[in-house]
Structure 1
Amino acid sequence: MNERERGGRRVVLWMYAGAVAVAGIFGYFLGVIVYGSGGPTGPLAEGPAPQYGTFGPVTFELTPLNLALFGVVMVGTMLGVALAAIVYVSNSERVAQ
């Protein structure tokens, strides 16, 4: 692997880390705007009871921290799978040549 390939991979990894961090920041601020900093007290919350979100078998209370964590996990997973597929395909093409 030459220096140019290593530099390109480094840029892609920094972009990946940046996208995951931005998803966490946006998730947190979305939670603060919608649900307030202390639970379901924000201007867009529906009722005084805590609200819950579900993703498959996982149920979690909608708080700013939980929404930030959800954004980090989802964007990290989806982009990670896509990047792994790209690395796999690029390595298999290099072997085929």
Structure 2
Amino acid sequence: MTANTDSPPLAERVAGPRVVITVYLAVLGVAGAMGALLGYVNPEGMDPELFFLVDLPPTPLGMATFGVVTVGVVLGVLLLAVRYVSQFDDDRVE
């Protein structure tokens, strides 16, 4: 039995931006699910405001939207900052 040497090693298939994007999307999914759950439970005094500008209804859809957009923007800005700063790293592999 011979091993297939044509395929790239596992580390090359799962490393890099693909993993970061997958984790980012998974976190957004969790944020949406938790927002929908909070909207379903609907505790008193929960009136989500998107960026302090847009009032959203305290429904499952409104809370899920609030969670996904808020977490998406915050994490997205941080990931873009890391990507920008990493351009100046002399030890990076190209």
Per the TM alignment, residue 69 of structure 1 is displaced from its structure 2 partner at its CA by 0.5
The aligned amino acid for 1:82 is: L
* Structure with higher RCO (Cα < 8 A, 6+ apart): 1
* Structure 1 residues 21 and 84, CA gap change in structure 2 (3 angstroms): same
The residue number in structure 2 matching 1:87 is 83
The residue number in structure 2 matching 1:28 is 36
Matching of residue 57 in structure 1 with residue 53 in structure 2: yes
Q: Percent identity?
A: 38
Report Cα offsets for 1:36-77 as digits up to 9, x if no partner: xxxxxxxx447xxxx743342211221110000110000100
User: Is the 2:56–2:66 contact (alpha carbons within 8 Å) kept by the matching residues of 1?
Assistant: no
Q: Look up the SS of the partner of 2:56 in the other structure.
A: strand
Number of residue pairs aligned between Structure 1 and Structure 2:
80
Unaligned runs of 5+ residues in structure 2 are 1-10
Unaligned runs of 5+ residues in structure 1 are 35-43
The aligned amino acid for 1:8 is: G
User: Is the 2:49–2:66 contact (alpha carbons within 8 Å) kept by the matching residues of 1?
Assistant: no
